[in-house]
Amino acid sequence: MALDDIYKEVILDHYKNPRNKRDLPGAEVSCTRNNPLCGDEITVFAHVDDGTVAELTFQGAGCSISQSSASMMTEAAAGRTVDQTLELAGQFRGMMAGEVEPDDDRFGDLVALKGVVKYPIRIKCAVLAWDVLQEALQDTGEATGARPHTVG
Amino acid sequence: MTQTDATATATLEVKGLHAAVGDREILRGIDLTVQQGQIHALMGPNGSGKSTLSNVIMGRPGYRIMEGSVTFNGEDITALPPDQRAKRGLFLAMQYPTEVPGVSVVNFLRTAYQAIKGEQISALAFRKHMKTQMDRLGIEDAMVQRYVNQGFSGGEKKRNEVLQLAVLEPTLAILDETDSGLDIDSLKLVAESVNELAGPELGVLIITHYQRMLNYITPGFVHVMMQGKIVKSGGPELAHELEDKGYEGVRRELGKVHGRPLVYLDNAATSQKPQCVIDGEARYYAELNANIHRGVHALSQQATDAYEAARDTVRRFINAARREEIVFVRGTTEAVNLVAASWGQRLQPGDEILITEMEHHSNIVPWQLVAQATGAKLRYLGLTDDGLLDLSNLGELLGDRTKILGVTAMSNALGTITPLKQLVDAAHAVGAIVVVDAAQAAPHMPFDMDGLEADFLAFSGHKMLGPTASGGLLAKREHLDRLQPMFGGGDMIREVFHDHATWNDVPYRFEAGTMQVAQQVGLAAACDYLDALGMEAVRAHEVDITRYAIDRLLEAGAVVYGPKDTDIRGGTVSFWYHDIHPHDLATILNEEGIAVRAGHHCAQLVMRRYGTPATVRASFYVYNTNEEVDLLVASLARAGDIFAS
Ligand SMILES: Cc1ncc(COP(=O)(O)O)c(C=O)c1O
């Protein structure tokens, strides 16, 4: 049943027990965005060290989809290079557009969000965290001379 | 119809009756005989003259008999005052029972009893008589100690009428629209009481415009009245021929959405459409389709006639003074934009536009555009904590500089009904015009454009059982005469020259190009449909279901926005359930087969005022039931389980 697809344990688990939901003092990168349609809001903080996303945390409020997506993202992206992270973001978007069949190894828990494809109006919620992360990382290039900025 | 011996039983006989109110002939030849022991039902659409007949029979002032007779037990009663008719055994249960402050039900009835019977009765003896009747009807003591009808619910008022009937012991009773405005439970109670009282001693004439009361009371005789005449008489089966008129009919037709059972609670966004509206639009395309106002050929004329007849229907429905005061537009948004773009041109720096934080974006953004273009200042009436317009600083905000007041008649986010008349009068006192957004009010309550005296009023057909892209801008004639058209094109001109053009008459000058003809024709079918239900009854139904919904939601621990008092709110209920995000909740409800809206409802200023980005909104209409409210509340509990940590 669709209900199970979308609100499977994994999503609820991340929503109720979010991972890496905290401030990150001294973060080189941070960015805030909201989705006025439903009031979801997410701030992403990252330590970018030598082209690698060394540590990634978030703060925010909103629906289960937006918040669980952010939580899963912090787990999936940490430790990857900026390039790899941006590529993963692209693939995640592809999954939400119904174009990319996610592979479990790279996606981990994020696969659970696949069911959201059936609810076009909520895809925005699922990709919000990724929008924020992408925007935050964009200017860093290979992370050299990264400067924090805020949008939103 | 069988005639029995008229001498043995009390008999009311109406013969060849023509009667008028003022100069208007309403009854145009009525023949009707009702005897003690019989139950008759007189059915017909609103405005067919049913209530006029009952008023003439009872001798209410204001009606003039032009021809024919009304006799009771062989005596001509037309010259008798009402109290004399009552003494002879006639009784009328009124459609809208009036309040009698300061007089308790029991005292009222004793006085009436003594007057009718022409004898004194001791308080004690009367009490006993009354108690017997109360027991028969299951009426509690507390009710008869209260002042007559004061603070009574719709159901209590009608039961009080039935109690009067029982206590006063007439031989012939007329029940005028006793079923109007009752929810199904009250209706059953009242019907049971009437059944209890009916018998060989009592003749009953039930006047009703829909059939649902006759599900519980079986009349021996049914008459159908239209345009002041009884057009058909028959047995009880006739009532069932008319079956598809009442709520039950609507429900059967609309309770399923697109053939699937769905609990559709998103009526504030748009309503479902009855088959007659879908057919009306389809029939236009199949039988009448041609471009209007321009063809010499017959079909074009027929199409034009249908379109213009739709204008007349809308005029009647919303009670505008004149047909040319209705401009067809594709909905509220277009209507407000038309006024803003055209009237707004006159504003100058220093002028002010006053709107409210309760508005839908379609009554905000057009005014922002006007303010930006003209240098006029946009100001806002705020909201109180309990979801009403905050009028405490109205005097400050509304002044000589105010040129336009824009206000909603009913909030689509909170359900609040605004004090329109007060605002219209206040605005007119400072020389401002008033633009009313009736997108939510027009579908759900009786509306009187003429009485309101608003300058402009906008509504959308799709929210009131009509097609999308149907709707209207209603405006005073003198305003339309001065209003610049927004769109130029075909049909809106009289003559076109190289450098200028002259305008067609009002309202055609605002209807440029090929209009949404089929949709406006469909809208007329929707207005007729609502008229047949009766807008009083539509409102009463929604009051009942809304009260039930609010009670159940609060009981379930939901936070309900806006006023809780159903006197000042409509059937749009915004809420939060525990701390489940509205989008999550709406998604779960969807899985349960319940369609609600979640989001800011195009009213971000309202959301911001109450510190929430979004709410879940359940909004009711004629076809919704208390059982559906129960389903909603049960599904909330399931959502609560899913999200419980
Ligand atoms: C109060 C109110 N005003 C205006 C509108 C806009 O109506 P429409 O979209 O039909 O133009 C709506 C409907 O969403 C509404 O609820």
Tens digit of each residue's pLDDT (9 = 90 or more) over B120-137 = 888 888 888 889 989 888
3-class state of residue A145 by DSSP: coil
pLDDT of residue B114 exceeding 80, the answer is yes
Please, which pLDDT band fits residue B425 given cuts at 50, 70 and 90?
very high
Best mean pLDDT range from B99-108, B110-119, B151-160, B470-479: B470-479
What residues of A are in contact with residue B607 (Cβ under 8 Å)?
A: 39
The residue type of B543 is: V
Residue whose CA is at the smallest distance from ligand 1 atom 16: B412
Task: Test A38 with B584 for CB contact under 8 angstroms.
Answer: no
Q: Bigger pLDDT: B410 or B189?
A: B410
pLDDT of residue A152 exceeding 70, the answer is no
Q: Give distance in angstroms: CA of B332 to centre of ligand 1.
A: 6
* Catalytic option among B568, B602, B631, B633: B602
Fold of A3-138: Sufe protein. Chain: A (3.90.1010)
Domain for residue B406, yes or no? no
In this prediction the pTM is: 0.69
Domain for residue B33, yes or no? yes
**Global ipTM:** 0.84
Please identify among residues 106-135 of chain A the ones whose CB lies closer than 8 Å to any CB of chain B.
Answer: 119, 122, 125
Q: Give distance in angstroms: CA of B460 to centre of ligand 1.
A: 7
pLDDT of residue A151 exceeding 70, the answer is no
B317-340 average pLDDT score: 96
User: pLDDT digits over B268-308, tens only?
Assistant: 999 999 988 999 999 999 999 999 987 789 899 999 999 99
Distance of CA B276 to the CA centre of its chain: 19
Pocket test for ligand 1, best of B460, B473, B606 (most atoms within 8 A of CB): B460
Rounded to whole angstroms, the Cα distance separating B438 from B458 reads 6
CB-nearest partner of A38 from B591, B614, B642: B614
Residue whose CA is at the smallest distance from ligand 1 atom 7: B332
Among the listed residues A41, A74, A72, the one whose alpha carbon sits nearest the alpha carbon of residue A57: A74
**Residues A46 and A29: beta-carbon distance below 8 Å:** yes
Q: Nearest CA to CA, how far is B390 from chain A (Å)?
A: 26
Report the interhelical angle of B332-343 vs B365-374 (nearest 10°).
10
For B555, the domain range is: 261-265+535-643
CB-nearest partner of B599 from A16, A38, A65: A38
Rounded to whole angstroms, the Cα distance separating A18 from B333 reads 42
Rounded to whole angstroms, the Cα distance separating B626 from B252 reads 15
pLDDT of residue B118 exceeding 90, the answer is no
The reported pLDDT for the residue numbered B190 is: 83
The residue type of B358 is: M
Rounded to whole angstroms, the Cα distance separating B339 from B434 reads 11
Task: Test B612 with A39 for CB contact under 8 angstroms.
Answer: yes
CB-nearest partner of B591 from A2, A38, A122: A2
B229-236 average pLDDT score: 82
Residue whose CA is at the smallest distance from ligand 1 atom 15: B439
pLDDT of residue B241 exceeding 70, the answer is no
Task: Test A6 with B587 for CB contact under 8 angstroms.
Answer: yes
**Residues B163 and B109: beta-carbon distance below 8 Å:** yes
Among the listed residues B216, B294, B219, the one whose alpha carbon sits nearest the alpha carbon of residue B35: B219
A9-13 average pLDDT score: 88
CB-nearest partner of B642 from A7, A40, A125: A7
The reported pLDDT for the residue numbered B645 is: 63
Of the listed ranges B2-6, B340-344, B528-532, B550-554, the least confidently predicted one is B2-6
* A/B interface, count of CB pairs below 8 Å: 46
User: pLDDT digits over A36-93, tens only?
Assistant: 777 899 999 999 988 999 999 999 999 999 999 999 999 999 899 999 999 999 999 9
**CA closest to B608 among chain A residues:** A39
Q: Does A63 touch chain B (CB under 8 A)?
A: yes
Distance of CA B596 to the CA centre of its chain: 23
B21-36 average pLDDT score: 89
The reported pLDDT for the residue numbered B256 is: 54
Domain for residue B417, yes or no? no
**CA closest to A121 among chain B residues:** B583
Phi, psi of B196, rounded to the nearest 5 degrees? -60, -40
Rounded to whole angstroms, the Cα distance separating A124 from A116 reads 10
Which residues on neighbouring strands pair with residue B406, listed in sequence order?
B435
Rounded to whole angstroms, the Cα distance separating B130 from B114 reads 13
Domain total in chain B? 2
**Residues B515 and B469: beta-carbon distance below 8 Å:** no
pLDDT of residue A143 exceeding 90, the answer is no
Among the listed residues B218, B192, B208, B165, the one whose alpha carbon sits nearest the alpha carbon of residue B39: B218
CATH number at residue B623: 3.90.1150.10
Residues 6+ apart with CB under 8 A from B406: B336, B353, B354, B355, B356, B359, B363, B367, B434, B435, B437
Q: Nearest CA to CA, how far is A64 from chain B (Å)?
A: 7
Report the interhelical angle of A64-77 vs A120-138 (nearest 10°).
40
The reported pLDDT for the residue numbered B255 is: 53
**Residues B549 and B618: beta-carbon distance below 8 Å:** yes
The residue type of B513 is: G
Domain for residue B466, yes or no? no
The reported pLDDT for the residue numbered B633 is: 96
Q: Nearest CA to CA, how far is A118 from chain B (Å)?
A: 11
Q: Give distance in angstroms: CA of B540 to centre of ligand 1.
A: 23
**Residues B563 and B415: beta-carbon distance below 8 Å:** yes
Please, which pLDDT band fits residue B529 given cuts at 50, 70 and 90?
very high
What is the domain partition of chain A in residue ranges? 3-138
Is B602 a catalytic site residue? Answer: yes
Pocket of ligand 1 (CB under 6 A): B 268, 331-333, 360, 362-363, 408, 412, 437, 439-440, 460, 602
Nearest 10 degrees: Cα torsion B541, B542, B546, B549: 60
**CA closest to A123 among chain B residues:** B583
User: pLDDT digits over B583-616, tens only?
Assistant: 999 998 988 889 999 999 999 999 999 999 999 9
Task: Test B600 with A1 for CB contact under 8 angstroms.
Answer: no
CATH number at residue B143: 3.40.50.300
The reported pLDDT for the residue numbered B253 is: 54
3-class state of residue A26 by DSSP: coil
The reported pLDDT for the residue numbered B257 is: 52
Q: Nearest CA to CA, how far is B324 from chain A (Å)?
A: 40
Please, which pLDDT band fits residue B503 given cuts at 50, 70 and 90?
very high
The reported pLDDT for the residue numbered B247 is: 39
CB-nearest partner of A62 from B581, B587, B642: B581
Task: Test B584 with A12 for CB contact under 8 angstroms.
Answer: no
